[in-house]
Amino acid sequence: MTYLNISLPASDDKLYTLADFKGQKVILYFYPKDNTTGCTIEAKDFTSLQQEYLDKGYKIVGVSRDSVKSHKNFITKQELNLLLLSDTNEELVKAFDVLKEKSMYGKKYMGIVRSTFILDENGIITKEYRNVKAKNHAATLLDSI
């Protein structure tokens, strides 16, 4: 569980490791890029359902390769209320194996495959959802926990 000690800067100007969340369950979701259509839908859905997640004992944490500055812009522009971690060095995305070769308009590139992991109070992965669709994911996930 080396992923517990990877330290990343966050949208609230603090540094976090997943070990910092010990004692609480975490919805850790990886998304491709701030301010893109699918990622905005997913983030707004998580924001609107955040209290229901908290009521069930879950903290929501988003991760992408965008900078902290980009995350702050995303939060302000889209009126989000989420903690977003900046993984510009691709440490956590590689640890969770969500960085894959993608193709768009015939060009190949490395990108994050939209994925969500449920971590228990000890940071152990209890469920994983890979290659999820943004629309309705937050609501479907909430119903399953």
Q: Which residues are catalytic?
A: 39
**Strand runs labelled E in 31-124:** 58-64, 83-86, 99-104, 107-112, 115-119
What are the backbone dihedrals phi and psi of residue 102, each rounded to the nearest 5 degrees, phi first? Answer: -125, 170
Task: Report d(CA 122, CA 21) in Å as an integer.
Answer: 8
Residue 91: both structure tokens together: 């440490």
- Compute the C-alpha angle 10/16/17, nearest 5°: 135
Task: Report d(CA 54, CA 44) in Å as an integer.
Answer: 16
